[in-house]
C-alpha cells in the first residue's frame, strides 16, 4: 500500500517484522537439516554409482568417485563442529581411499586395483619393472613428513620405492607419480632392447 495513514504504517511495520522473523526461523530449520539431507543424498549416491559396478570403465568410475568426494567436502562444511557421526565418517573415508584406484593416469594404470587388468600391465617387461620397483623389503619404515603426507593416512603406506622416497623425504606426490611411470617405462624399454639378461638385473638395480 502507498497510503501513509497511521493504520497502514502500523500494518506495514508489523508485516515486515513478521516476515523477518519467519525468515530467521526458516533459516534455522533449514540449517539444522542441511547436514542430514546431504548425508542422505551422499549415501544414496554412493550406493547407486559406486557399489557393485566393478565392470565399469576406470574413467567412468573415476568421475563418480570425484563427485562423491565433492559431496563429502560439502557435508563436512555444513556439519556441526563435531562433524558427521563416526560410523558415517568411517564409511566416507573408505570411499576416499578407493578413489585413488581410479585416479587419472598417462600410460600405465598403476593405481587401479579393481576390475580387469589393463593389457599394457600384462607386458612381461612392464610387469618385471613394476615388481622390481616394489622391492622395498630391506628398507626401514619411513617416518612421514606431516607437511607433505595427508593427515588421513594413519601410517606409512609403502607400495614401492618411490612411495618410500615420497614419505621419507617429503617429495611432492604428483611428481612422484609422474616419475614412477617414467622409471617403469625406462626399465621396460631397456629389457625390450635386448640387453644381456645376466647384466640386466644388476643395471636396473643400480639405476633404482
pLDDT at 173 over 60: yes
Q: Which of 57-66, 107-116, 130-139, 168-177 has the lowest mean pLDDT?
A: 107-116
63 and 131 in a single domain? The answer is no
- 190 and 152, same domain (yes or no): yes
| Statement to judge: residues 98 and 11 lie in one domain | yes
Q: Are residues 193 and 126 in the same domain?
A: yes
What pLDDT, on a 0 to 100 scale, did the predictor assign at position 152? 45
Question: Residue 144 has what pLDDT?
Answer: 54
Question: Residue 7's pLDDT band (boundaries 50, 70, 90)?
Answer: low
Cα–Cα dist 191/185, whole Å: 10
- What domain count does the chain have? 2
Same domain, 96 and 181: no
Q: What is the per-residue pLDDT for 161?
A: 83
pLDDT per residue as tens digits for the range 68-126: 888 888 777 777 766 666 777 777 777 777 776 666 666 677 766 555 667 878 888 88
Longest dimension (CA), the chain: 104
81 and 130 assigned to the same domain: no
79 lies in the same domain as 141: no
pLDDT at residue 149 greater than cutoff 70:
no
Regarding whether 135 and 74 lie in a shared domain, the answer is: no
pLDDT at 18: 67
Q: Which of 68, 66, 71 is nearest to 48 (CA)?
A: 68
Domain membership of residue 92 (yes or no) is: yes
Is 1 a member of any domain?
Answer: no
Q: Please tell me the distance from the alpha carbon of residue 183 to that of residue 186, in angstroms, as a whole number.
A: 5
What number of other Cβ atoms are within 10 A of residue 207's Cβ? 11
Q: Determine, yes or no, domain membership for 108.
A: no
Q: Is residue 93 part of a domain?
A: yes
> Are residues 16 and 51 both part of a single domain?
yes
Q: Does the pLDDT value for residue 140 go beyond 80?
A: yes
Range(s) of the domain holding residue 29 = 6-102
Q: Which pLDDT score is estimated for 201?
A: 56
Q: What letter would DSSP give residue 119?
A: G
- Whether the pLDDT of residue 1 is over 50: the answer is no
Mean pLDDT in the chain? 71
Whether 184 is covered by a domain: the verdict is: yes
Amino acid at each position: 500500500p502507498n497510503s501513509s495513514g497511521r493504520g497502514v504504517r502500523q500494518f506495514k511495520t508489523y508485516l515486515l517484522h513478521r516476515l523477518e522473523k519467519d525468515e530467521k526461523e526458516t533459516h534455522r530449520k533449514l540449517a539444522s537439516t542441511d547436514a542430514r539431507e546431504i548425508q542422505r543424498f551422499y549415501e544414496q549416491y554412493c550406493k547407486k554409482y559406486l557399489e557393485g559396478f566393478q565392470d565399469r570403465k576406470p574413467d567412468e568410475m573415476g568421475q563418480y568417485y570425484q563427485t562423491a568426494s565433492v559431496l563429502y567436502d560439502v557435508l563436512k562444511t555444513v556439519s556441526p563442529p563435531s562433524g558427521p557421526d563416526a560410523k558415517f565418517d568411517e564409511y566416507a573415508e573408505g570411499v576416499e581411499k578407493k578413489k585413488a584406484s581410479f585416479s587419472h593416469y598417462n600410460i600405465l594404470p598403476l593405481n587401479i586395483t579393481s576390475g580387469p587388468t589393463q593389457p599394457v600391465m600384462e607386458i612381461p617387461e612392464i610387469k618385471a619393472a613394476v615388481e622390481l620397483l616394489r622391492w622395498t623389503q630391506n628398507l626401514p619404515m619411513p617416518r612421514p613428513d606431516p607437511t607433505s603426507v595427508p593427515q588421513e593416512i594413519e601410517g606409512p603406506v609403502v607400495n614401492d620405492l618411490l612411495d618410500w622416497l615420497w614419505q621419507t623425504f617429503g617429495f611432492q606426490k604428483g611428481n612422484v607419480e609422474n616419475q614412477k611411470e617414467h622409471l617403469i617405462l625406462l626399465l621396460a624399454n631397456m629389457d625390450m632392447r635386448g640387453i644381456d639378461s645376466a647384466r640386466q638385473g644388476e643395471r636396473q638395480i643400480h639405476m633404482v
